[in-house]
Each structure stands twice: as structure tokens, then as C-alpha cells.
Chains A and B, each alone.
Chain A
């Protein structure tokens, strides 16, 4: 028996533009600048972005870029070759399933997509009457392409954990302005993990 092969794309929605995030000055008073920007980039997504809406956005984008041929490669209009298996609006993370032969088409479509529904107007009213206007600028970043949903899931958990560690580490060294710049460039999570390892080694040697 032949199995239909799929690819699972782990996707992050980022908000690099300052205007894209709602003003949260009351909660962000105590945060450093680096933390603020880090949180702003990984801001939550509106609830109006449902899995079906995301799947339709991807299909529309593929149709725009690759035409009827691209839609056919995805498995036809009604077949639902692209389906959103997981969408967390709080962490702006999604797992998208697509046919293995055409995952690059989906990836291309995601690269060209730059709008999601606004977070304020994404209420229930917008969902019923029609689709909410796609006005919030964003960037879709494909983190991992995987053959099984399990690996994509593990990667999502790993990334989320590293993100938390990175923010915590920023909190601790917030007074040392020099280090914060380095942490923001992406070494934060790894640095923290290495620190933990060193602690263990020291404890072991102390026990001896």
C-alpha cells in the first residue's frame, strides 16, 4: 500500500513593525528595551485568524503566484491539500500540513504573505459577517520542515522553551547593558543552557 506523503511546516508569525502591536505601555513599564522588542516581535495573533482562514489565505496566495497549476499541485480546490493542523494565537505558531511534492509552493506563498487580521477588530462580529480585514503587517517565518508532525511539535516546544529562557536571562542581566545586545542577537538561549551545564560540573567537582 502506498502512503500519501506529507510535509509539516512549523511556522512562526512575527511582527517586526512597531505599529503592528497594540500599545501595552502599562504592562511593559518594568521591561527593558530588549525585552520589549523581543515581546513585540513575538506578539500574540488575533483570534480572527482561524485555521481555516489561514489555510484559505495560503491557497489564495498560491493561486495568485502559481495560478491554476499551483492549486492543482496542492491537490485541487476542494481537496484541501493544505490544512492547518495547529494554530496557537497566543504564541503565533502554526503547523501546516501540505503534500510533500509541493511544500515549496506553500513556503513561497508564506514568504509573500504579509498581512493578518488586526488584533482589535478581530472579534466575533468580523468572523460571522465576512472575513476580518487583513491589515496588520507581519512576517511568516518557516522554522522547520518535517516529515512527521511529531518532530514539528518537538521543535515548537524547544523554540518556545528557548524563548522563555532567553527572556528570563534578559531579566537577570538587565543591568548589564552590554550583554543584552549580545543576547538579543540570538545567543541568549544557548548561553543560558551552557551556564546551567557549567553549574552542574562545578557542583560535581565540589562534591568530590
Chain B
């Protein structure tokens, strides 16, 4: 945190703060299915274990053990319950700022899920938003965060 004072013509002082090097980077990811995936699969709920498996798989493929060791906090997952019709599957994650670039690269270049026995078609991650401050990130379309 640094502060710089500026001389104002009036008596009041203007203080401006700049926050540099925040600890975390926040990412909003969307799990996208192949176009020909059945609607039943696309409207199913996204559970945290599946999300974690997909994330670790992406990181392991791109960066090996070093990638798999990047700590990822899953903040929120939607939808938590099966939906009536296909909906967007969104997760919000938090990673250390230094690892953010690696996570974005690994996650966005990954296609997986097709090699499992009970496969439901290929899936991929789409990076919807990335930012160092969660408040700024959710300001636009993420106001449902922590509210439902």
C-alpha cells in the first residue's frame, strides 16, 4: 500500500491509495460441454469434486506435478442442484497471484473428460473473468455471488 498526497486548492486533502501486489487472483470459469452433449448432462448439477478433478487434470497436463501443486480454492459453484434445462456451469476460484498466469494458460488450453469410462462427452473450461479483486470482478454480472 502506498499513499500519495496531492495539494488541493482548498483546505481538504485528497488521499489516494494504490494497492499493489495483492495475494490472490480470482477467476470465473465456465465448464462448457461439446455441442452434441445430451441436455440431461448439460442440465445436471456441477459438484465440487468433478470441478476439482477437471481443474487438477488441466493443470497436471500442462504443468505436471508443479501444476498439480498449485493451490486452488473453489469459492462458489453453480448450479448446485440439477436444473430443468441446460444452464451455464460456473465456478469461482481463487489462486495465488503468482500462479494465475499458469492457471489461466493451463485451464484454457485443456479439453478433457472423454477418456473416462462413464464419459459424458468432452468438456473444457472457458475463462470468463480474471481479476485481482473480487469486488471489482463481480460488480458487473456476478452479483449473484454469495447471495443464493
Q: Which residues of A contact B (CB under 8 A)?
A: 62-70
- B65 sits at the interface (CB 8 A): yes
Q: How long is the Cα–Cα vector from A66 to B65 in the complex, in angstroms?
A: 6
Is B65 in contact with A69, judged by CB distance below 8 angstroms? no
Is A65 in contact with B65, judged by CB distance below 8 angstroms? yes
Q: Which residue of B lies closest to A72 (CB)?
A: B62
CB distance from A74 to the nearest CB of B (A): 12
CB-CB under 8 A from B62, the residues of chain A are 67-69
Q: Which residue of B lies closest to A108 (CB)?
A: B66
Identify 17 residue pairs between A and B in the complex whose beta-carbon atoms are under 8 Å apart, listed by A's number.
A62-B64, A64-B64, A64-B65, A66-B63, A66-B64, A66-B65, A66-B66, A67-B60, A67-B63, A67-B64, A67-B65, A67-B67, A68-B63, A69-B63, A69-B67, A70-B63, A70-B64
Query: What are the 6 closest A-B residue pairs judged by CB atoms, nearest first?
Result: A67-B64, A67-B63, A66-B64, A65-B64, A65-B65, A67-B62
Interface size class of chain B, counting residues whose CB lies under 8 Å from the partner chain: under 10
- B61 sits at the interface (CB 8 A): yes
CB-CB under 8 A from B64, the residues of chain A are 62-67, 69-70
Q: How long is the Cα–Cα vector from A77 to B60 in the complex, in angstroms?
A: 17
CB-CB under 8 A from A63, the residues of chain B are 64
The CB with the most chain A CB atoms within 10 A, among B62, B64, B67, is that of B64
What are the interface flags for B75-92 relative to A under an 8 Å C-beta threshold, 1 for contact and 0 otherwise?
000000000000000000
CB distance from B63 to the nearest CB of A (A): 4
CB distance from B65 to the nearest CB of A (A): 5
Q: How long is the Cα–Cα vector from A88 to B116 in the complex, in angstroms?
A: 43
Q: How long is the Cα–Cα vector from A70 to B62 in the complex, in angstroms?
A: 8
CB-CB under 8 A from B65, the residues of chain A are 64-67
Is B66 in contact with A68, judged by CB distance below 8 angstroms? no
CB-CB under 8 A from B63, the residues of chain A are 66-70
Q: How long is the Cα–Cα vector from A63 to B60 in the complex, in angstroms?
A: 10
Q: How long is the Cα–Cα vector from A149 to B32 in the complex, in angstroms?
A: 50
CB distance from B67 to the nearest CB of A (A): 6
Q: Which residue of A lies closest to B64 (CB)?
A: A67
CB-CB under 8 A from B67, the residues of chain A are 67, 69
